[in-house]
Structure 1
Amino acid sequence: MSDSPQPYRVLARKYRPRSFRELIGQDAMVQTLGNAIRRGRLAHAFLMTGVRGVGKTSTARLIAKALNCIGPDGQGGPTIDPCGVCEPCVAIAEGRHIDVVEMDAASHTGVDDVREIIEAVRYAAVSARYKIYIIDEVHMLSKNAFNALLKTLEEPPAHVKFLFATTEVNKVPVTVLSRCQRFDLRRIPAELLAGHFAHVVEAESVAAEPDALALIAQAAEGSARDGLSILDQAIAHAEMGDGDPMVSAAQVRDMLGLSDRGSVRRLLGLLLEGDTGALLGAVRDQYALGVEPLALMRGLMELVHAVTLAKAGRDIASPGQSAEEREALADWAAQLGFAPLHRLWQLLLKGHDEVASAVLPIESCEMALLRVMHAATMPDPGELARMLRDGAPAMVAPASGGTPAAPSSAPAARLPATMQEIVALIDRQKPLLANHLNDCAALVSLSPPDIALRLTHAWTHGDFKRDLEQALNAATSGTRWVVTLAESGGDQTLLEQEQAGKAAARAEILETPVVKAAIAAFPEAELVETDRPEQWSAGQ
């Protein structure tokens, strides 16, 4: 009689790491553990935290193997590279070692469950070097259970080690955290996940397009387990040809309800061009192909984020990125400023949240994108205020899509008519020049765009006439200013006027009956300036 075939094991279980070398994306943690084991500086409690599927429980089991491995000859000690063939390694891997106890805190939350552990830790390990307790999702323990564990956790017997794993470390009491050596397991980068999946499909005798593996890695969001589950589904979904199954990018997109990158780029292009009819048609085409409205919004957000990073000069190349996509990102980054990109992001983020909770998702998606189209190119509040103040031309929004219409007629920008206005205007871009203008320039005449000044002190940072003309030209949208420097004449400088005003105010105050009486009563009193220059007070 032939042996019965082995039951199928899902990829997430079949390819669970059996050694620290197979644990991807956690190099810093592995190095720290290796150094601690080699130097004999082992903590009595470890806490592994991170998002789902990054290897928290697998790491706990690997630590258990590393601490209890005796080597193929039975003479080995704790090692960062457990042999995997000795009895402790095999028994721990199969989950049957009597001295390695795994407990799911989600189903054992009470103080009675912890009390059993407290009673058992007093007894030495039966056959292993260390008695190890692995508590998964430790944050699910009750408050009383945590309190009962504290004393044992702080001073456990030398033969006991505690290994905790949690996805919500913020729910673990600080008193427990302070008694553990904490390891924050990182999200696994998409590039590493795609490479790992390539090894898996090769071992499974399955062919897969690189773009397909890249899509799966991106959908996994840093979780190896989630990615392997998606890959399992993709292999089952793949078409059988003459040879091995073939996992294609198109099939993965269909399976996950994703829009391909080319379609998202076209959609963003229509959004920026303001073509309402084409935009709504493209959205409905994607919906007919099975793309979820939420996935569509997310794809647009990812694209806007990528354009913003490109604008900031960051290298955003990814394994599945085509030359066309890189070129499109570079073009948008060159054409769009940071302010429009930030508004696009905020509008898409708001639309994403609306679609996620909407009763009518596709309709909400269309309305959100129409709002983005008509609002993304509007000036920000600061720019709008400047346009209203200076009389700059306002853009007329298109009635039904298309590019914005020509500027409406508006009065010419008002030029500064006083010395104070000129100083305030220059201070926005050239504060050092504005300060010299305020303190050391007397106004002889002003007939915008002509101005004549007398300098009381020389400008030591360049050519004053040229620098002031350039600053005024830039501040007044290219108006050609002519600056003349006179040898004599002119009013007082603004600083001199301010000082003269203070002196007059001081003299006026000193002449008031109250102040005269106060000074007469207190001859040594003097009038001092308060924090507010326009106010004065008498004091000693």
Structure 2
Amino acid sequence: MSYQVLARKWRPRLFREMVGQTHVLQALINALDHNRLHHAYLFTGTRGVGKTTIARILAKCLNCEAGVSSEPCGVCSACREIDEGRFVDLIEVDAASRTKVEDTRELLDNVQYAPSRGRFKVYLIDEVHMLSSHSFNALLKTLEEPPAHVKFLLATTDPQKLPVTILSRCLQFSLKNMLPEKVVEHLRHVLAEEQVPFDDESLWLLGRAADGSMRDGLSLTDQAIAFGNGELKASEVRSMLGTIDHGQVFDLLNGLAAGDARALLAAVAELAEQGADFAGVLAELISTLQRVAIAQVLPEAADNSLGDQQRVLELAGRISAEDVQLFYQLALHGRRDLPLAPDPRGGFEMALLRMLAFRPGTLQHTGSVAPAGLAQRPPTGQPATEPAPDSDTGKPTGISQARADSTEDRPAAQALPAAEPAIVASAPPSAATPAPVTPAVAVQPEPITEPAVQPAPAPQVTTPAAVQPLRSATPVKPAPTAVEDEPPEWLQGPPPDDSFDPDTDDDDVDVNQYLGDWQPAEDASAESAAEEDEVSDLPPATGLAAYWLEIYPRLGVAGLTQSIAAHCQLVSNDNAVWRLHLDPGHSALYNENHRLRLQNAITELEGQSLTLEVVVQAPDQETPAVAAARRRVARQKEAEASIQSDPLVQALVNDFAAQICADSIRPVDA
């Protein structure tokens, strides 16, 4: 007798021999046992899940000589002929080869005739979705009201292509894909009966390669038996399937856990030498990450199907749950994008490097280096660090070198728009003849050899009474500096003085025009920390200092004068002479104009003539600015405490492991 393949030899002949599909079998068994039979059944599902097999068993149940039941005898002539595929009243039609309407009409011409031998004439139409629309229309009337002796059994892998009119006339049963566990269990039984030696790992490789199809699993087992010369070994099955050693997947995951890019690339090179299918490697990586995630949530649920349970548990303890989820998601995207890569190896390498790049904290471990000549900028809210000086010349490099060369020739910056000419600032006065300072320019990655533009030095006018800001007929902004988080160089030292002009109203001029494009960092945490430091330096105001806090909002001053008043402390008011201490840190823009305006405002408010003295000296009690900062810090802390104690926020934190971002909390003014 010729050899019969396992998929045909072990095809179930009874419902109880079926593996899986319990939800379908239970409905059919109950209908047969209680004689509640429909005239048309539709079985849907992917290849190899048992659609045609269930239809043939159902035909046997209907025509068994022992009677209609869910347990055909299997020995009568009808049962044997159906098993052998030669029962005259079981008409099997391959719809893929009979798509024309003429074929369907020829088929239906014989429906009216009674069965030759059996109890029912059964039409089994496989891949019914391949019929043409005209064929479906010809089938409709007969399918809805067939003769009592006719049953229609339809099978398809694509039910979406069936007309709704066909679906509504059938009982539809959707068959599920076979789980690898079901396939392995059945293969273990089959190989034991066939007396074929095997190991469990080889069965799991075949079960996963079957991809939900029991027929594919049996066909692959046939191939593996031939490949292994009558036995199944994991190494030979892996070689036949083109899959990799599972230990190599753990090598990749260990490299990811350690953040070792060198080890990852070495593992990829080894896989390339073996001619591995990188799409399959990514699939194995995804499968292992899923097992690791389960082991992290429920260690006792980690399966030992591949004999690597201990390695899975060890890896679950080394990688955080967040990293496992990140690697899993990036591996899925990498598998999707792999066909778009120029070559599979490059796409696989990029998927691994993407896992390293997006893993929190990896950049610090991998030691990423910025291009030569460019200093790395710190994250927002962190102070910039100066690059180390050059070992040969002793001079600073990068941006520090650009700052150090403020009095030397520099490469010219790109031309500024005519509407905003760059303001020319002079260097701070010194004993020697002052050298002109060129406008700040952006640092280029490579030196530019064009000659620098040397503007004429601005005239310097000094007054002994106060420090005056630079002015021009049309306020303009200076050229932007290379480092956005620091002010221009001319603001780092005392600016040159202007002559005192009592008619100049600089309260109408925005102080930001003197700051150019520089603005302080917008990091809320850094701002809050700065306010807390300012608040902690001075005790609460009492006495005259408290009185100054009370009258400050009613002075009616604005602009720079208001800012200067906010950083003052009232220390005495004897004999119609008021004395204020002005914080030295906020005295750079103070001049006689501001003193006169404050004196006039206080005189008007107090209703008496007085003289105001302003002394640049550190206050020893709270100023209005410090008091306002203290109130802002207190309100910010109250807002954060309110958010953290909110029941809804706590529910989000507990249920979803959410984290409160304190920098995003802002108090709302009443």
Is the TM value for this pair above 0.5? Answer: yes
Shift of 1:291: 2.3
The structure whose residues are more often strand, as a share, is 1
Following the alignment from structure 1 to structure 2, what is the Cα–Cα distance between the partners of residues 311 and 20?
A: 40
SS in 1 for 2:125: strand
Q: Which of 123, 138, 146 matches 2:136?
A: 146
Paired residue for 1:231?
Answer: 221
Paired residue for 1:399?
Answer: 367
Q: Which of 108, 113, 132 matches 1:118?
A: 108
Is 1:99 the equivalent of 2:89?
Answer: yes
Greater relative contact order (Cα < 8 A, sep 6+) = 1
CA distances 1:191-249 after superposition (whole Å, capped 9, x unpaired): 2211211122223221000111111111112211110111111101114xxxxx32111
Question: Structure 2: which 5+ runs fail to align?
Answer: 370-377, 384-524, 533-631, 651-658
Following the alignment from structure 1 to structure 2, what is the Cα–Cα distance between the partners of residues 323 and 312?
A: 15
Q: Which of 357, 367, 388 matches 1:374?
A: 357
Shift of 1:251: 1.0
Shift of 1:378: 6.5
Question: TM-score normalized by structure 2?
Answer: 0.57
SS in 1 for 2:366: coil
Shift of 1:298: 1.0
Paired residue for 1:331?
Answer: 317
CA 1:114–1:426 in structure 2 vs 1: closer, same or farther (change >3 Å)? farther
Following the alignment from structure 2 to structure 1, what is the Cα–Cα distance between the partners of residues 228 and 660?
A: 62
CA 1:428–1:99 in structure 2 vs 1: closer, same or farther (change >3 Å)? farther
Q: Is the 8 A contact 2:224 2:237 kept in 1?
A: yes
Following the alignment from structure 2 to structure 1, what is the Cα–Cα distance between the partners of residues 289 and 305?
A: 19
SS in 1 for 2:82: helix
Q: Is the 8 A contact 1:427 1:433 kept in 2?
A: no
Q: Which of 272, 281, 286 matches 1:301?
A: 286
Is 1:41 the equivalent of 2:36?
Answer: yes
Following the alignment from structure 1 to structure 2, what is the Cα–Cα distance between the partners of residues 429 and 264?
A: 43
Following the alignment from structure 1 to structure 2, what is the Cα–Cα distance between the partners of residues 207 and 288?
A: 31
One-letter code aligned to 1:103: V
Is 1:319 the equivalent of 2:319?
Answer: no
CA 1:130–1:318 in structure 2 vs 1: closer, same or farther (change >3 Å)? farther
Shift of 1:126: 0.8
Between the aligned residues of both structures, percent identity stands at 42
Paired residue for 1:453?
Answer: none
Following the alignment from structure 2 to structure 1, what is the Cα–Cα distance between the partners of residues 357 and 171?
A: 53
Paired residue for 2:147?
Answer: 157
Paired residue for 2:21?
Answer: 26
One-letter code aligned to 2:41: F
CA distances 1:165-188 after superposition (whole Å, capped 9, x unpaired): 111111112221111111111112
CA distances 1:338-393 after superposition (whole Å, capped 9, x unpaired): 4x3333223212221232354521222222222222223379xxxxxxxxxxxxxx
Question: TM-score normalized by structure 1?
Answer: 0.69
Paired residue for 1:382?
Answer: none
Question: Structure 1: which 5+ runs fail to align?
Answer: 1-5, 71-75, 240-244, 380-394, 402-406, 436-472, 478-493, 499-540
Following the alignment from structure 1 to structure 2, what is the Cα–Cα distance between the partners of residues 319 and 358?
A: 33
Runs of 4+ in 1 over 6 A off after TM superposition: none
Paired residue for 2:263?
Answer: 278
Is 1:361 the equivalent of 2:338?
Answer: no
Shift of 1:425: 3.0
Following the alignment from structure 1 to structure 2, what is the Cα–Cα distance between the partners of residues 322 and 121?
A: 59
Q: Is the 8 A contact 1:84 1:90 kept in 2?
A: yes
Is 1:195 the equivalent of 2:178?
Answer: no
CA 1:115–1:433 in structure 2 vs 1: closer, same or farther (change >3 Å)? closer
CA distances 1:68-101 after superposition (whole Å, capped 9, x unpaired): 111xxxxx21111111111111111111111100
Following the alignment from structure 2 to structure 1, what is the Cα–Cα distance between the partners of residues 350 and 648?
A: 49
SS in 2 for 1:246: coil
SS in 1 for 2:226: helix
Q: Is the 8 A contact 2:99 2:135 kept in 1?
A: yes
CA distances 1:268-320 after superposition (whole Å, capped 9, x unpaired): 12023221121111112123234211111111111222233334448342533
One-letter code aligned to 2:21: Q
Of stretches 266-275 and 130-139 in structure 1, the one that deviates more from structure 2 is 266-275
Following the alignment from structure 2 to structure 1, what is the Cα–Cα distance between the partners of residues 190 and 259?
A: 45
Cα RMSD after superposing both structures? 2.9
SS in 1 for 2:92: strand
Superposed counterparts of 1:211-222, under 5 Å: 211-222=201-212
Paired residue for 1:246?
Answer: 231
